[in-house]
Amino acid sequence: MFAQKRRFAALAAASAVLLLAACGGSGGDASSGSSSAKAAVSLANAWGAAEIPADPKRVAVVSGGDRSIAYALGIVPVIEADYPASTSAPYTVEARKGLGITEPKLYNATDGTDFAAVAAAEPDVILGMQSYSMDEDYAQLAKIAPVITFSEKSQINDMTWQDRILRAGEGLGIKDKAQAVIDANKKAATDAAAANPDFKGKTYTYLIMHPEQITYASDGSAAPSPVDDLGLVKPANAAKFSSAKSAVSLENLDLVDADVVLIAYPFGDEGLMTQKELESNPLWQKIPAVAKGHWAILDSESGLASDLAYPDALSYPWVIEQVTPAIVKALAGKGGGSSS
């Protein structure tokens, strides 16, 4: 099982690294890949503006998502925030191999941003496109180096992974590389959809078993996910849920019905219900998709559960590789069990 995960991760990471190598990308140089001289960039943000020098070579990242953006762009950060769960993700491990990173410079992010460690790394620029503490951190980070971050504070929650990497590319002067990553990821989804034409138009629901509730994660207000990009669509009932109203009660489990129901238990036994408890519940068993076997449990140990809900530029092709066979299995009426 682990070997299979590694194989999928290697395919995703290798394709991204090969693409960037073709564009001229290299480890710690954010400016490589263009023979023309770069100009300094002035990038307005929600807290003011950042004056980013031409050809910044020393890039610090202050979140796991920003590390993914840097890796996807072929950049080796001078320092990274260390979040063990995301650091050990298969696609992160494989990307590091592809970039030749054997001993990444890390700071412990358990208690927030370590400003002293970031300053000691002497970055030319700080990448903060996915930092949830930017409102509190910006003033201090800006004293260290120019910060590439959101133009509006609300974007921490509603910005797509495509927009995040494009803005990062703009600030680093390599927007063409950012677009190349987006195009490569889009091709991964397009190829998978073409190989599975029966996906087109099928409805899906994605549920996550949180500690306090069963969450309808594919709600009507959610941005398109990798599953949408495979040709599936949200059912009409998705419009009854939103990020502010995402809980599904046991009495309303019939609302989750679709051609395919995907569910994940990222919190294990600490979730509202265990897998055994849910699957033995008569209300769950009566859902048409469940009764027909058109459902699948997504692997949580690898991080797929959260990466499907919140994909980024690096995880996206790996998510496509992982979720596609789960959907194939569910549509064939062989539901249940893990996708791995």
Which tens digits make up the pLDDT trace of 191-235?
A: 999 999 999 999 999 999 999 999 999 999 888 899 999 999 999
Q: Can you give the C-alpha Rg of the chain in angstroms? A: 21
Q: What is the mean pLDDT of the chain?
A: 88
| Residue 98 near residue 122, CB atoms below 8 Å | no
Give all strands of the β-sheet with 125-127 in edge-to-edge order. 59-61, 125-127, 147-148
Looking at the fold, whether 233 and 321 belong to one and the same domain comes out as yes
Please, which contacts does 178-183 make with residues 24 or more away whose CB atoms are closer than 8 Å? 178/73, 178/313, 180/19, 180/20, 180/23, 181/16, 181/19, 181/20, 181/72, 181/73, 181/313, 182/313
| Domain assignment present for 191 | no
Looking at the fold, whether 170 and 276 belong to one and the same domain comes out as no
Looking at the fold, whether 107 and 225 belong to one and the same domain comes out as no
Looking at the fold, whether 266 and 218 belong to one and the same domain comes out as yes
Last residue of a domain, one of 134, 166, 185: 185
For residue 268, give its domain range: 196-331
| Domain assignment present for 18 | no
Looking at the fold, whether 75 and 170 belong to one and the same domain comes out as yes
| Domain assignment present for 75 | yes
Looking at the fold, whether 177 and 207 belong to one and the same domain comes out as no
Angle between helices 2-22 and 175-195 (to 10 degrees): 130
The CATH number linked to 130 is: 3.40.50.1980
| Domain assignment present for 121 | yes
Looking at the fold, whether 164 and 98 belong to one and the same domain comes out as yes
Considering Cα of 159, then 160, then 163, then 166, what sign does the dihedral take?
positive
Looking at the fold, whether 259 and 131 belong to one and the same domain comes out as no
Looking at the fold, whether 150 and 41 belong to one and the same domain comes out as yes
At residue 86, the pLDDT reads: 60
Domain count, the chain: 2
Residue carrying the six token digits 């949830």: 132
Looking at the fold, whether 238 and 294 belong to one and the same domain comes out as yes
Three-class SS state of 30? coil
pLDDT in tens, 288-336: 999 999 999 998 888 899 899 999 999 999 999 999 999 999 999 987 7
231 token code pair:
């040709």
